[in-house]
Each structure stands twice: as structure tokens, then as C-alpha cells.
Structure 1
Amino acid sequence: MSVQGTILVLDGTSTNRIMLKVQLTAAWYHVVQAEKLHGLAGLLRRTRPDLVLVAQSLPDGSAADVKRMMAADPELADVPVVAIAPRSDKAARLQALSDGLDDVLTAPFKDTLLLARIRSLLRARADTQELQLGNGSHPIGFAESAAVSIAPPKSAHVAILTHGSGTGVLWQSALSGRSRHNLSAHRASNMRALLSGPVPDAILIELGTGTAGLNTLADLKSRGATRHTVLIAVLEDEDTAMACEALDRGADAVCMGGFCADEVQLHLENQIARKVRRDQMRASLKRGLAESWVDPLTGLHNRRYAMQAMDQMARQPSRSGYGFVVMLADLDHFKTINDRFGHVSGDRVLAEAARRMKHTVGAAGFVARIGGEEFMIGLPDSSPAAAMELAKTLRDCICEAPFSLPDTSAPVPVTISIGLAAPDAPLPRSEPVERLLKSADTALYAAKKAGRNQVRIRQTAA
């Protein structure tokens, strides 16, 4: 997205293009113009617009053709396409929504409504782009390709929020014959009932002449639970000012001129499909972030997590009056296990050792695998004496029960050596945490030198 935002205006009538360019340029958007489908693919690749305004009918095609062309390009699939329909042509407006257009404007329209719809769509696209960037740049959690079509759920939860219960019942009845979604009606005065149950996938909101409905929109968009819920506002008349305010306060779509079941249903289908896509991208990003901190073999935290956790632990003042302790643990003669029984068996030893250590440490701290057979244990608010006892318990949980391996006639004994570093105060900001690890590594070397299956501690001054 450019700094200004690039908008492609596509219309076969030059006066329409000029009028839109004047309106959009005055609002600091960069405008690119075209008049037909021919040559459009190359123009799209060169300009990479952030939004497309297209007349519903073109000299050699339609707005639906433009949408299909862009949907086929992974780099353009998320770019909003807004159709400009003829005046008072309800059928054309519904057809555009049925064709998957992101929104429809009926000419002539006011500058304020045009710009409000553009702002709303560009905000939604910016959210999608952030999710794509987070997924695409991450080493593990990749999002679906932009070109992949993700079907909406068979049945979403749609809440209807109206001023009177009778209106809600009428809207629910009108939609029930068209919609595959679960519908529930609520009075606007009883928001507690709506928010106390499962979070709806979409909320249909009746806006009256006052500000109550607008305030409800802003409230729902600001809440963590409903921030990603689709919000569709229904206005009784053609109130442009109210429609603009609704879009700026968080409505994903606005239906003007009263409730129209067909139009509302089309908006629901389109918006819920987009929500499903963003939700899956968001889940993929969260999953990727979580996996980036985890060692896939053992399920423990990895070195990346351990280093950041240790740095944070080392800088924080103690809550209990005790300091913190870092341990480095190394399975003894692990290479011999790999050489004798194979790497598959070696992996089983690592996984079982990790399970035992994680169970032993529990909530007292964290356990991470930071190398082949090397582990780090971090204990916040722990005295050296308590840490030594836990280290001995860790040693015993490994050595006291031999490891069962495939294709072996008897369980295999395994031991572990552990070195501890126990600073007497939090580290200053200028002190690298690697110094602590070096102290723990020195203690680990002493445990190995003492015959292995040992625990040694090295207390250090901060």
C-alpha cells in the first residue's frame, strides 16, 4: 500500500472518471484511471492498487469480470473492488454483491459516503496485509495462499440487534428462509444477554435516528471479544451522514433505505467468508509464533525461548527475596547411545528425558532443549539450596529408571550431569546474560569431571 493509497478508477465514461479523480485526489489518494478490461492485467501489475472503483458495466466486460481477474492473482486477491451501480437500480446492486464485489455504490453519491466506504475497506485490507506479512515472513507458520478459496462455515452464529423485539423477530423470520446460519434476536437495550453468551460471528445492528446505535458499533469494535466480529448496520432511510458515521465507527457494511433481506443476506455471506479467511490467517500466525519457541522433537521450549526468558528473569527484581538460578544439564555419553542403538533410539531417549524433567520442574520454572543433548532449566525466585535439591531430583529422575528402547532386550541406563549458576542479585542492563551461562557451563564441566551423574553449583556476584 502506498503512503497515499492508490485507487484505480475503471469506467468507460470519461466524465465519471474525471469526477472520481477530483474527489479522490482532494482526499490525498493517488488515482490511476482506465476505461476497459483490455490491458487491465498489465496495469494492475504495474500500479498495484489498494482499491478499485469500477463501473458495473464496462465497454468490454463488467465489474464481476474485474473481480474474477483480481481474485485469480494471489498478489491482488485481497484488494477491495467496489462496483458503481446505476441510480435506483436495486437489482444491479444485489447482482454486484452476489458476484462477490466488496461493496456497491449507487450513483450519484456524496463525497463523504464514498470516502467513508474507502476508509472502511482500506482498514480491513491493512489488517489482512499485516496478517499476510506476519505469516509470510515467519519460518514456520505460513498462511494460506491469497488465491486459495476458503469456504465459510456451514453455519455461523448471527445475532440480530434491534430496538424492539418485534423488529428482531421480523428480521429473523425474513432471513431464516434465505440463510444457512444460526440466527438469534436481541434487544439493543439488553446488550448483556448478547455479550454473555458465545461470541457471534456477525451482528446485524439496527441504527435509529439517535447516537445509541453508533455508540453500540464503536463499543463492539473496541471490545477484545467482538473486535473481529462482522458488524452490519441497517439504516431506515438514505441518511448519508449516519452511514458515514457507522462506517467510521466500525461497521463492515451498511444497508441504507431500510431492511432488505436479500441485501443483508448477501452482505452476511461475503463478510463472513472474509472473516473466516482472516481468522484462519490469524490462527496460522499464532500457531507459527508458538511453534517458533518450541523444540519439535521434545515439545520443550527451544534455545530462542530460553535465551529471552533467561534474560528477562535475570533483570527482574525478586518477588520473594530469593534470586534466580540457571541450570545447564547434559545427558552423559549420549553419542554412545546413538552409535550403539541408532538415532531413532537416541531421539526416544531425548524425548523421554525431556518428559521426566518437565514433569519434575513443573511450575517452578522452565525447561528448554538448547542443543543436541543439552538442556537449560531456569528457576525464578529460588534459593541456591532449593535449586540444588531440585537439581538432584532431576538427576535422580533420569538415572533411577532405565530407558526402554525398541529392539533392546533390556532397558538402557542413562545419566545426566547438571551445572548451576546462582547470581546473588539481578543483572544490570549492561551485563550480558551469557556470563551466567558460562558460569553454569563451568559448573557442568566440573560435574562431568567429577565422574558424571553429578550436580555442581557455581555462585556468582552480579
Structure 2
Amino acid sequence: MTARVLIVDDVPTNVKLLEARLSNAYFDVITAKDGPSALELLRSSLPDIVLLDVMMPGMNGFEVCKKIKSDPKTCHIPVVMVTALSETKDRIQGLEAGADDFLTKPINDKALLARVRNLTRVKMMMDAWRQRSETFEKLGLDISLPELCKEDTGKAKVLLVEDNPHSAAHIRETLVEAEGDDVTIVADGVAAMAALRDVAFELVILSLDLANEDALRLVAQIRASEELRSLAILVLVEEHDEEMLAQAFEVGVHDYLVRPLEKSELLLRSRTQIRHSRYQKRLSSDYQNSLALAVTDSLTGIYNRRYLENHLPRLLEDSLQQEKNLIVMLIDIDRFKDVNDRFGHVAGDHALKEVAARIRANVRSFDLVARLGGDEFVVVMPDCSLPFVRATVERVRAAVSGQPIFMPGENEGSTITVSIGVAQVQGQEDMPEALLKRADLAMYKAKAAGRNKAWVADNDDGDQECSA
């Protein structure tokens, strides 16, 4: 996963140090030496995350952060305050300004990369929803894009996983008195998973030092569940335990609080997560309500050709503007006519639905999956490397052919295979139609090579078979 990082600092040495660390980790780095130039770059260069120094002449970091978070066009961009100030009051001032996280100088490399990757991952999901909503508006559907900064954050449903009764009572009292939250307390992972199955919580607050529990394993369990994958998780960590915190970010934690807990910081960090959770839920709800109007395939439930033709140009434009890769995967069911001839069209429809479900389950949640028509499907994958795509293509191909599909009224399953063509963006003049055409030609090469195969076009070595 790559991202564009804006570093804002008036000290050239600090900028060069951060730039070197992030560039070595394959991030695209842009820089600004003061607040006004940073605000200009935000509008023109569309960074994915901002690393913002606090102590700058003229407009300090807190003032810059407030301006970023008060602008509807930029308030969704994560801001990490970089500071030599380590007092709790300084963190609270930053959170009140809208900061998403803090890094204290001297900066630990693992902490830096963990925070940047975590916040970038969250922003990519939010961007995908925002882009879909904007596409709906272009299609003339009755939907408006909500503003993150205007989301209400009170009376949230919170699950607190804490085996220290005194700490649990303190946290519950703070959230209930200040925000009217509905707080459920459990002491272990088994009880937590049971509660999550029964109640639609908006936030999980999890202690990382449970006495008889691997808290990170619980995070992994939550992230493995399709229904809970985007649930906000805020962890409680001991001071200076950067190693544990880095691991927590790697498995999917959103934010953290350092013990001993300070009430104001608890409230500010929990409200940030609630705000993001409700914003994403609102976008998802708008998306689901509008989907049935015109942009889903009535048989498979995935996007239809109309949506693909309207949304692919937007994804391509963003890819070219941000200088990120974009991959198109065209998938065609092998010998589908034989399925219809042998089992009938009802069985053929069943096979199409099952293949669509297997494709959807084996790509990222924000990848675009659409039915082009007949027995052809398209997957559009923004911001990913060709090696990552090769692994995804093989996973999709194997998922379709690896398990038989049981047709209605048939006791024995039938093996269905697909041929897949892959193409990637080729320069600033590339067009959606040309991208789809190259993927289509690659798909036919996969069929010519024997079917149940994938073929990649446009790589540096020319066209190349990549599976089976």
C-alpha cells in the first residue's frame, strides 16, 4: 500500500530525515515549510496524510490543523502532529484542533510507519465510499455527500474489554456522564465476541494488558469477521510500549490511549472514532439505498455495466492525478454455454451468482466488482502493485475452480473455471475504453492458452501468463 505524505516543518533537517524514512518505505513524499504553503498543497496535491510540526513561526501546527479539519474538502485527511512536546495538555490541545495522532521527537521508525500505514488504510476505505457517492450524484441519483466534521458523536454504543474493575468503572463513568454513551463491560475475548454478535457496537475499547488473554488475537478475530471488519477499535496501552503499539496497528487497531488515562483525551479520541464510524455508516447507508435504483446487477447483486462505465473514468482520473497504479481484471466464465445447455438457464443464473460471490469475497472491500454482461465480470483495483495483483488474480481463479458449484436439483457439483485478463494503466493519455480492451485481449490469450488461466498484459516484460 502506497500513499502520498505531506510533511510540514520549518526545519530542513527534520524534513529530510522524515522524507528519507518514508521514501525508503515506498511512500510518495511532498513537503511544505510553513502553514500557508501546506494549506495550498493540500488543495492542489491531494495528500493521503499530513505529518505536521507543532512549533512553526507564524501559523503554528495547531492553527494549521484547525483549518484543515474545518474545511469540508480536507477534513477527512488524517493529521499526525509531530512534536517535542510530550505533556498530556499538549496532546489534548492537538486533539481539540482535530489531530488524529501524535509522534513525539525523537521519532521511532516503527511507530512512524505503523501510524502512517494505519491512518492511510482508514482513509483509503473512506475515499472509496466518497468516490462511490460522488458517482451516484453524477448518475443523477438523489444523494448528497455528508460532511465528516458535522457528524454527531453522542450516545454511542461502546464495548469495553477490560479485566481491571477500577479502570473499567472509571472509563464507563467518563463516557456515560460526558456523552451519554451506552457502555457494555466484558473481561475477556469470549465474552467480547459474544457481545459483538448480539449488539451493533460503534466502538471497541480494548485493554492490551488483559491478564489471561492475548488482546491482539482478539483484534485479529474481530478483523477476520466480515461484519466487524470496519469496526473502530481503540486500545489502552502502557506508556513507552511502542513495540506492542506497532503490532496493534499492524493487526488493525484504529487508535490508542496511554495509561494512566486522562479524561479529556479519552473523550476526544473516542469521539474521533465515533465520528469516523458514523460517517462511514452514513456513506454506506446512502450507498445501499441508492444501489437498488440503477447501479446494481439484479441477478448477482454486484455493480452493473452502467455503474462501471460511469465510475471507471473517475478512478482512472484519480490514479493519473495521484500517480498511482490502477489495475483492471476482466473475468470470463469458461464454456458457460455448456452450463446453460446441460442444466438450463435457472442453473446458469445460479452459477453466475455463485461466481460473482466468490470474486467479491477474494478482492479488497474497496475494489470495484461489476458484471459487464452475460458471463463477463470486471474488477477494478486502485493503488496496488502488479505482484499484489498477481496474487489476487490467482486467489480469484482458484476460488472459482477450487470448489464445485451445486446446481438446483443436482446432487453432484459441477466444476466451473474462469479465464482472466489483466491490464494496468499506461501513462497519462490512457483511456477507460483502452484499458478494458487490453484486459479483454489478455483474457482471450488466457483462453487460448487452455482456459482456467490468467494472463497479464502491460508488464515490463510484455504479455505473460501468471497462473495455472
- 1:348-363 to 2 correspondence within 5 Å? none
Q: Give the structure 2 partner of residue 292 of structure 1.
A: 294
Determine if the alignment matches structure 1 residue 101 to structure 2 residue 94.
no
CA contact (8 A) 1:52 1:79 kept: yes
Structure-2 residue corresponding to 1:61: 59
1:194 equivalent in structure 2: 195
Aligned to 1:232: 234
Match of 1:423 in 2: none
Cα RMSD (Å): 3.8
SS in 1 for 2:178: coil
Matched residue SS, 1:248: helix
Q: Contact 1:10–1:54 (CA<8 Å) still a contact in 2?
A: yes
CA gap of 1:224–1:303, structure 2 versus 1, over 3 A, is: closer
- Flag the 1:38–1:206 CA change in 2: closer, same or farther, 3 A: same
Conserved? CA contact 2:237–2:259, under 8 Å: yes
Counterpart Cα distance in 2 of 1:289 and 1:145: 15
For the 8 Å contact 1:78–1:146, the answer to whether it is kept is: no
Q: Could you tell me whether the CA contact under 8 Å between 2:162 and 2:210 is conserved in 1?
A: no
Larger radius of gyration: 1
TM-score (norm 1): 0.61
Structure 1 position 110, deviation (Å): 0.4
1:206 matched residue in structure 2: 207
Quote the residue 2:317 is aligned against: none
Corresponding pairs, count? 319
Q: Displacement of 1:249 after TM fit? A: 0.9
The Cα of 1:67 is off from its aligned counterpart by 2.8
Query: 1:92: how far off?
Result: 0.7
Contact kept? 2:75, 2:148, Cα under 8 Å: no
Residue 61 of structure 1: CA displacement?
1.4
Listed as ranges, the gaps of 5+ residues in structure 1 are: 295-301, 306-310, 326-379, 383-428, 430-462
Answer whether contact 2:62 2:93 (CA < 8 A) is retained. no
Distance in 2 between residues matched to 1:324 and 1:261, nearest whole Å:
60
Tell me whether 28-37 or 191-200 shows the greater mean CA deviation. 191-200
Ranges in structure 2 where 5+ consecutive residues have no aligned partner:
297-303, 308-332, 348-406, 410-417, 419-468
One-letter amino acid matched to 2:50 = V
Change (3 A) 1:146 1:153: closer
Relative distance call for 1:148 and 1:110 in structure 2 (3 A) is: closer
Cα distance, 1:144 vs structure 2: 3.8
Alpha-carbon distance in 1 for matches of 2:254, 2:305: 42
Change (3 A) 1:321 1:109: closer
- The question of whether the paired residues in 2 share the 8 Å contact of 1:142 and 1:284 is answered with no
Q: What are the Cα deviations for residues 365-385 of structure 1, in whole angstroms up to 9, with x where unaligned?
A: xxxxxxxxxxxxxxx989xxx
**Mapped contact 1:132–1:143 kept (Cα < 8 A):** no
Over 3 Å counting, the alpha-carbon distance change for 1:4 and 1:183 in structure 2 is: closer
2-structure distance, mates of 1:192, 1:126: 27
Q: Which residue of 2 aligns with 1:363?
A: none
Pairs within 5 Å for 1:3-152? 4-71=2-69, 73-138=71-136, 139-141=139-141, 144-145=144-145, 147=147, 149-152=149-152
Q: Identity over aligned residues, as a percent?
A: 21
CA distance in 1, matches of 2:135, 2:305: 20
How far 1:153 sits from its partner (Å)? 4.6
Other structure's SS at 2:47 match: coil
Quote how far apart the aligned CAs of 1:108 are.
2.2
- TM-score when scaled to structure 2? 0.60
- Given the superposition, is the C-alpha separation of residues 258 and 243 from structure 1 closer, same or farther in structure 2, using an over 3 Å criterion? farther
Task: State the distance in 1 between where 2:232 and 2:106 align.
Answer: 27
Q: CA deviation at 1:243?
A: 0.4
User: How far apart are 1:222 and its partner, in Å?
Assistant: 2.2
Question: CA distance change for structure 1 residues 322 and 32 in 2, over 3 Å: closer, same or farther?
Answer: closer
Quote the offset at 1:175 in angstroms. 3.6
Per mean C-alpha deviation after superposition, the further-off stretch among 278-287 and 202-211 is 202-211
State the distance in 2 between where 1:258 and 1:270 align: 20
Cα distance in 2, alignment partners of residues 229 and 118 from structure 1: 19
